[in-house]
Structures are given as C-alpha cells and as structure tokens.
Amino acid sequence: MPAALPSAACFTSPTAQGAAIGGGELWIARSDWSWGTLDRLDPETGAPRRRYETAPGIEGIAFGSDGRLWAVSEAGSRHIYDHPFLGLFEPFFPLVFALDLSRLE
C-alpha cells in the first residue's frame, strides 16, 4: 500500500465478499449464489451511502487504472453443482466484468 494512503478499519456486513476504494469512496461487494449487492460506504466512517443490486455471487472487486470497477462473480463456479439436486445443470464459468458506476441505480 502506498505510504500516502491512510489505513483505517470499519465494521461491515458478515456477507461482505470484497472491497475496493475508488473515487474517494469505499465499495463493498456482498453476495450469495442467488443475489449480489454493491454497497457504497463513507471511507472514513464506514456509514452506508447507497446499495445497488448486482450479479449473484459477486465477490472480488477492484478499480482499474481507468477508474472502472471490475468484479468477479462466482455464480457459476463448480461448488454450486456439487449439491445432489443441482446435478442436472451444466456448470458455467465465473464471470469477470466491468461495472459502469454512472449507470448504477
């Protein structure tokens, strides 16, 4: 971590899967295999500012050098299909995608 960046700690949801700081804000990815949200928090206090619905299984998030937020979703990863009742479905690969933050509602 560059020395110019402060370090801090805040409490967040136990369902948090990933975190990134960008645009002066703290973003938290929360998910399960059937739902996903992206929370925008105040980076100093951890207070929630806004919640957005996203892809199910969203986990790791990171800002690219161009300011875009990238995410990976585990929605199709293999462990879901290890359940006996889900063996009828064909597995698919996890998704990696960029989020256009200006279009989040």
Note the pLDDT tens digit of each residue in 12-30.
Answer: 677 888 999 988 889 999 9
Position with higher pLDDT, 29 vs 94: 29
Question: Cα(76)–Cα(78) distance, rounded to whole angstroms?
Answer: 6
Closest CA to 62 of 10, 99, 7: 99
Closest CA to 90 of 98, 99, 82, 81: 81
Confidence at residue 39, expressed as pLDDT on a 0 to 100 scale:
92
Confidence at residue 28, expressed as pLDDT on a 0 to 100 scale:
93
Note the pLDDT tens digit of each residue in 20-57.
Answer: 998 888 999 998 767 888 999 988 888 889 999 988 88
pTM for the whole structure? 0.72
